[in-house]
Amino acid sequence: MDRVRVLKKEKMPRTTHPNLHAATGASFAGLIARYVRQNWRPYLLSALMLAAVAALTVFIPRQVGHVVDGLAAGRLERGALLGQLSWLLLAGVLIYFLRVAWRLQLFAASYRLGAQLRERLYARLCLQGPHFYQQKRTGDLMALATNDIDSVEMASGEAMLAGFDGTLTLIMVVAMMTLGIDWRLAGAALLPFPLMAFAFWRISSHIHQASKDSLECFGKLNDHVQETLTGVRTLRALGLETRSAHRFAELAEHAASASLRAQRWEAAFEPAVGITLVSATVLTLGLGGYLVWQGELTIGALTAFSMYLGQLIWPMFAAGWVLALMERGRAAWSRLQPTLDAPLSIEDGGTQTSVSAGALAFEQVSFSYPGHQALALSGIDFSLAAGQTLGLVGPTGAGKSSVLRLILRQYAVQDGHISWSGHGLTDYRLDALHQAISWVPQEPFLFSASIAENIALAKPEASRAEIECAARLACIHDDIARMPQGYDTPVGEKGVSLSGGQRQRVAIARALLTDAALLLLDDALSAVDTQTETDILAHLQQLRLAKRGSSAIIVSHRLSAVMDADHILVLKAGRIAEQGDHASLLEQGGWYAAQWRYQQLEASLDAA
């Protein structure tokens, strides 16, 4: 049951990461700066170790220069030479261990940032309603949680490391070249650097756009793969495998091309560094050779300076690497931030933490879906007393499911008022409201777990006896008993190994296992036969009588599913066209009576 407990925790309709809104409206640089301030200890410790590495790195050429001059002058004996070489060996060993240590510190901190961003993104997505997901692609959201956050994580780790290490090494090396050897050589060596800085600036601007294009192309590719795998049976049934493969190849080619463009611009850093280094070397050797010829510089000093010049390779490459990583991270943040800052579809501002049994009332409720002018519901007015059952029927598109979505607060009411137990629906916290409702949609979702785990999803502590009891009420126990592993049978992704009727009944069993005050069945019996439907409804009636105060709303196209309801609403074009109990609706001779006669005739013909 551990997987069920995890899924239950992931529901978290209200609880979010404590820093969920910390980066709202923040720039990418602001995000990195805020995180470094919050985690200053590992960054400071890494900086100190990097400073020690830079100092030891600068010490080595200086020491080599002394050894060369000592050997050239014949001042170093064997013992002294071994002592000098031992210092060099010790410096190398210390550099090795310090580099391992700062990597452990710095990368651990950057990985925590990636984990926090994923938690914040996941929490935000859990709070969003259906309207948000109608505008977003699932594959692209998955790409945000993987590639985009990886880019931000790299910027907070490797970019910070390379930037600090490269800057510190550059300052110390240039200081040693200038103050420790010869300022004229240092000035000549630094002459090509402004040109390199200009080249880096131009390259980094291209990397930003190329990285953004690459991430967007990967998101589109990810979205296509997700849709293809989800609808693979439909593609096979329609013979669309070849067309889907061509589309995948096209998207993969675009993603590869965009990634190649980004890599091509990143590769441009190396020629800029190479040209700068070659130019600096030519200038240094020319001037240095002249100074040695004039006796103003020793061979050892020129050797040390050449080694220092070689150590400038890392700061130059580090500058290009930092710019590339920061531009990738900035491009990723420009895609990630709008999702983190997207306003919630439904604000959770309620204060009531529990729902007591009471009447559910709609008072002149009107509603239209976002982006649509036509009303899905208009002037809906009814009251459902505690312990009663309400039936919702009507033609397709009449607004039946819209009523349930408003009760679940998936959407906000534009006009009118909905109350439950004397409080407005908006007065309740979303988590309290959802815990008081068991909802079974027409297309239930099953997780890739066992049947028992799916039934016990909302009540992970349920015993096997309780699970089996709920399964019997949903008329699925006999089907489960015939399966090879019984209740431990895996259902596959989205319940692919079960039939439509079996999935519906597992979802009904899951709803019946909870002690919710309100049960919502949204055409949840459409895939079962009439006899099974009758048995399930009889069990629901028994359960409702046993749990006094528990109410139910049943949406169905089969009128037989609502004939025993205490009250029935017939919706047409978002309005209540007829209402009453089964007998009174038959007497009215309207849509309900006509539909009842038609379905009874159809049932008799099927029986014959």
Task: Determine the Cα–Cα distance for residues 334 and 451; give it in Å rounded to an integer.
Answer: 42
The SS3 assignment for 136 reads coil
Quick one: what percent of the chain has pLDDT higher than 70? 89
Tell me if 145 sits within 8 A of 215, measured CB to CB: no
Which helix (H) or strand (E) element contains residue 568? strand 567-572
**Per-residue pLDDT reduced to its tens digit, 252-287:** 888 888 888 877 887 777 777 778 777 777 777 777
Sort 592 into a burial class: Cβ within 10 Å, 0-12 / 13-18 / 19+. buried
Helix ranges, 268-399 (H): 269-293, 299-311, 313-341
The secondary structure of residue 560, as a DSSP letter, is G
State yes or no: pLDDT of 15 exceeds 60.
Answer: no
Q: Which residue has the higher pLDDT, 125 or 158?
A: 125
Q: How wide is the angle at C-alpha 108 spanned by C-alphas 102 and 113, nearest 5°?
A: 130
What pLDDT shows up at residue 430?
86
Q: Which residue has the higher pLDDT, 82 or 225?
A: 225
Task: Determine the Cα–Cα distance for residues 458 and 491; give it in Å rounded to an integer.
Answer: 17
Record the tokens describing residue 125, joined without a space. 């997505």
Q: Would you place residue 66 in the very low, low, confident or very high pLDDT band (cuts 50, 70, 90)?
A: low
Task: Determine the Cα–Cα distance for residues 479 and 535; give it in Å rounded to an integer.
Answer: 15
Q: Measured in Å, how far apart are the chain's first and last C-alpha atoms?
A: 47
What pLDDT shows up at residue 377?
92
What pLDDT shows up at residue 571?
93
Strand order in the sheet with 567-572: 437-440, 518-522, 551-555, 389-393, 567-572, 575-580
What pLDDT shows up at residue 579?
92
What pLDDT shows up at residue 21?
44
- Closest to 120 measured CA to CA, from 205, 241, 35: 35
Task: Determine the Cα–Cα distance for residues 454 and 466; give it in Å rounded to an integer.
Answer: 13
Task: Spell out the domain ranges in the chain.
Answer: 2-19+27-341, 346-436+518-539+549-608
**Per-residue pLDDT reduced to its tens digit, 99-140:** 777 677 777 777 777 888 888 888 888 878 777 887 788 778
**Per-residue pLDDT reduced to its tens digit, 427-447:** 888 888 888 888 888 888 888
What pLDDT shows up at residue 2?
38
What pLDDT shows up at residue 568?
92
Task: Determine the Cα–Cα distance for residues 130 and 419; give it in Å rounded to an integer.
Answer: 22
**CATH architecture assignment, domain 346-436+518-539+549-608:** 3-Layer(aba) Sandwich (3.40)
pTM for the model? 0.68
Compute CA 401 distance to the chain's CA centroid, rounded to the nearest angstrom: 28
What pLDDT shows up at residue 4?
38
What pLDDT shows up at residue 572?
92
Q: Would you place residue 225 in the very low, low, confident or very high pLDDT band (cuts 50, 70, 90)?
A: confident
Backbone angles phi, psi at 578, to 5 degrees: -145, 155
What pLDDT shows up at residue 576?
92
**Per-residue pLDDT reduced to its tens digit, 307-366:** 777 767 777 777 777 777 888 888 888 888 888 888 877 777 778 888 887 889 999 999
Task: Determine the Cα–Cα distance for residues 33 and 105; give it in Å rounded to an integer.
Answer: 17
Tell me if 482 sits within 8 A of 552, measured CB to CB: no
State yes or no: pLDDT of 403 exceeds 70.
Answer: yes
Taking CA atoms, 474 is separated from 470, 487, 519, 537, 558, in Å, by: 6, 14, 14, 9, 18
- Closest to 228 measured CA to CA, from 206, 243, 213, 207: 243
What pLDDT shows up at residue 608?
56
- For residues 497-518, average pLDDT: 86
Q: Would you place residue 545 in the very low, low, confident or very high pLDDT band (cuts 50, 70, 90)?
A: low
The secondary structure of residue 345, as a DSSP letter, is S
The secondary structure of residue 360, as a DSSP letter, is E
Query: What count of other Cβ atoms lies within 10 Å of the Cβ of residue 8?
Result: 16
What pLDDT shows up at residue 61?
67
Torsional sign, CA 275, 279, 281, 282: positive
Task: Determine the Cα–Cα distance for residues 509 and 473; give it in Å rounded to an integer.
Answer: 7
Average pLDDT of the chain is 79
Least confident of 15-24, 184-193, 381-390: 15-24
Task: Determine the Cα–Cα distance for residues 346 and 411; give it in Å rounded to an integer.
Answer: 7
Task: Determine the Cα–Cα distance for residues 325 and 157; give it in Å rounded to an integer.
Answer: 10
Record the tokens describing residue 339, joined without a space. 């999702």
Taking CA atoms, 6 is separated from 3, 10, 449, 458, 487, in Å, by: 5, 6, 12, 11, 19
Q: Would you place residue 10 in the very low, low, confident or very high pLDDT band (cuts 50, 70, 90)?
A: very low
Task: Determine the Cα–Cα distance for residues 530 and 73; give it in Å rounded to an integer.
Answer: 106
Q: Would you place residue 71 in the very low, low, confident or very high pLDDT band (cuts 50, 70, 90)?
A: low
What pLDDT shows up at residue 606?
66
- For residues 382-408, average pLDDT: 90
What pLDDT shows up at residue 109?
74
Strand order in the sheet with 423-424: 377-384, 360-367, 415-420, 423-424
Domain 2-19+27-341 matches domain 346-436+518-539+549-608 at the CATH topology level:
no
The SS3 assignment for 448 reads coil
Record the tokens describing residue 266, joined without a space. 């990143």
Any residues with CB less than 8 A from the CB of 287 and at least 6 apart, and which? 184, 185, 188
Backbone angles phi, psi at 475, to 5 degrees: 60, 40
Q: Would you place residue 9 in the very low, low, confident or very high pLDDT band (cuts 50, 70, 90)?
A: very low
- Topology of domain 2-19+27-341, per CATH? ABC transporter transmembrane region fold (1.20.1560)
State yes or no: pLDDT of 20 exceeds 60.
Answer: no
- For residues 35-49, average pLDDT: 77
Quick one: what percent of the chain has pLDDT higher than 90? 9
Taking CA atoms, 488 is separated from 186, 293, 468, 481, 589, in Å, by: 74, 87, 12, 10, 50
